[in-house]
Structure 1
Amino acid sequence: MAIIVTGASGLLGRALVGALAAEGENVVRLVRRTPRRTDESFWQPDKGVVDRAVLEGARAVVHLAGAGLGERRWSDDYRREILDSRVTGTRTLVTALKELESPPEVLMSASGAGFYGDTGDRVTDESGPRGEGFLAELCERWEAEAGQATQAGVRTTTLRTAITLSAQGGALKQILPIFRMGLGAPLGSGRQWWSWITLDDWVRAALHILNNRALEGPVNVAAPEPVTNKEFTLALGRALKRATMPIAVPGFALRAGLGGFADEGLLIGQRAVPSKLLDSGFRFLHPTLDEALAAVL
């Protein structure tokens, strides 16, 4: 039985597809261009187009597709693109799953720790309430679309992923050159909590969720020890053996360059912990940030 993956060209998707292939799984990637290989299938999520024959009898669907959050300034148009790429794409998949004679056992759909909004110093697990702001509302609508798959008897999980640490992509790759020049600095107050996870642990957690039938609903895919932004800055400086700047980057400078993403992606944070993963027996390779950065770098 095949495992169907959307967003397979992204950081998470590439790593997961590689791990699945290494385990001998039959992986089919949904792509929005003409397929070039036998393990690709065309879909057009904004038009409701997906090949139901590919989904029929599949073991699982892992849905990771969506427009990048930090790649462009958050104009009104780009906010709509971010929202539509997630909500409409998920709806396309779930609508197709409901029409299958033999739907997959599980749908694993991406989400984000941004669901919780700004938690301040409050620790939150999957039972925590939805926060305020665009990202929180986005995650709620995204997860609601995925949750419709339960009507077809599909075990459904939403992966509330934290900042994923990899030198090959994501936020860490973007800031490494700055820190290597000795120009790394806290952002804003530096007191905002950042939940994080290494790419290796994210892949291991995804495989754990895939194979654990007891896990459903939202799952925090984050390491058990979130840190403040100031602690993250100092830890990355130590890992690179570089000094960090004593003066923080002011919020107005970040807003000037990034717009709304600065407020919701950098200047506030979530102190989210992975209760469901830990309770289900998952063990992290890199539970602390110093261990994580040493492994990643």
Structure 2
Amino acid sequence: MNFLITGGTGFIGSALCAHLCQQRHHIVVKTRYPESLGLEMTGVTSLSEVSPDQRFDVVINLAGEPIANKRWSAVQKQKIVDSRLDTTEEIIAFLKNAKTKPAVLISGSAIGYYGTGATDAVIDEFGAGDDSFSSTLCAKWEASALAAEVLGIRTCLLRIGIVLGCGGGALQKMIPPFRLGLGGRIGTGTQWMSWIHLHDLIAIIDYCISDNSVHGPINCTAPQPVSNQDFTKALGKCLKRPAVLPVPSLAIKALMGEMGTELLLAGKQVRPVKLEAAGFKFKYKELGAALTSVL
């Protein structure tokens, strides 16, 4: 099939592109760094370089400024928003002019959509958001992507949890202090961590491509979310290191501000209710097996 992908050089996107290349699909990647792509893919810096006559079966939108790389100043927050909305709006404009519409648009989002309010309730795809930055960001991003439905294009919104995989993501930042024996729970440790193995995330994308009945928001999380305290214990056990040095909430707030409060001190029990009801099979349901696979 013919794929158009944004964000194809990021942590998730690069793994996805490698997977699709193995299946001999044809891939066009919109990226700021086309020279970094392998010979089996075509890189463009703007969709204006792509002819409206070119047919794509699937469009996958994963582009966006990393949300956890820098403290959230007003400038950085605007950059995070613009990087997602501008790219999505560029895709919608391209699709409006495309002579042949793709069968599906798969667009990124995150479980940050559900906000930061403390609760132990199970969150499914009908869960509501709030006025936090993460929630409003995801809501705007999803609304922009849903413009594809007006064009008759099936649209899937991937509300992605904490992705566990090699070479990037949350684990890349967590492992160094744990290897030094400096790991431990964050804050109270009671906040939920709704995670997913990178292998299963790519399998979900495959599922969205092949099953024409799948559409709308999809919780991309493993069936067994854990508390932060249980997550750090499992990581310490996997690395054969102690996980007994907690990071106080006050330290997180002082060092990271709003970003630390929303991304590290808040968390909800998000479950893949729609996927499980549809019969999707996860390879990694249990955290210990997922960590062992990655590490």
Calculate the TM-score normalised by the size of structure 2. 0.94
CA distance in 1, matches of 2:242, 2:120: 27
How far off its partner does 1:256 sit?
2.6
How far off its partner does 1:239 sit?
1.0
Residue equivalent to 2:169: 170
CA distance in 2, matches of 1:248, 1:85: 34
Identity %: 37
CA distance in 2, matches of 1:284, 1:135: 27
How far off its partner does 1:131 sit?
3.0
Change (3 A) 1:34 1:162: closer
Residue equivalent to 2:226: 227
Change (3 A) 1:54 1:190: farther
Q: Does 1:271 align with 2:273?
A: no
Retained in 2: the 8 A contact 1:107–1:149? Answer: yes
**Count of residues paired in the alignment:** 292
Calculate the TM-score normalised by the size of structure 1. 0.94
Change (3 A) 1:179 1:24: same
Gaps in structure 1 of 5+ consecutive residues: none
Gaps in structure 2 of 5+ consecutive residues: none
2:45 aligned counterpart, secondary structure: strand
| Pairing partner for 2:114 from 92, 116, 135 | 116
CA distance in 2, matches of 1:74, 1:131: 18
Q: Deviations over 1:68-87 (max 9, x none)?
A: 01111110000000000011
What pairs up with 1:1-297 in 2 under 5 angstroms? Answer: 1-33=1-33, 39-44=41-46, 50-53=48-51, 56-118=54-116, 119-245=118-244, 247-297=245-295
Retained in 1: the 8 A contact 2:109–2:159? Answer: yes
1:61 aligned counterpart, secondary structure: strand
Change (3 A) 1:215 1:34: closer
Retained in 1: the 8 A contact 2:224–2:271? Answer: yes
Q: CA RMSD in A?
A: 1.6
Retained in 2: the 8 A contact 1:55–1:97? Answer: no
Q: Deviations over 1:135-189 (max 9, x none)?
A: 0000000000000001111110110000001231111011101111111111111
CA distance in 1, matches of 2:135, 2:193: 15
Retained in 2: the 8 A contact 1:201–1:284? Answer: yes
Q: Deviations over 1:263-284 (max 9, x none)?
A: 1111001210001111222111
CA distance in 2, matches of 1:54, 1:285: 39
2:76 aligned counterpart, secondary structure: helix
Give, as a single letter, the amino acid of the residue that structure 1 aligns with 2:248: P
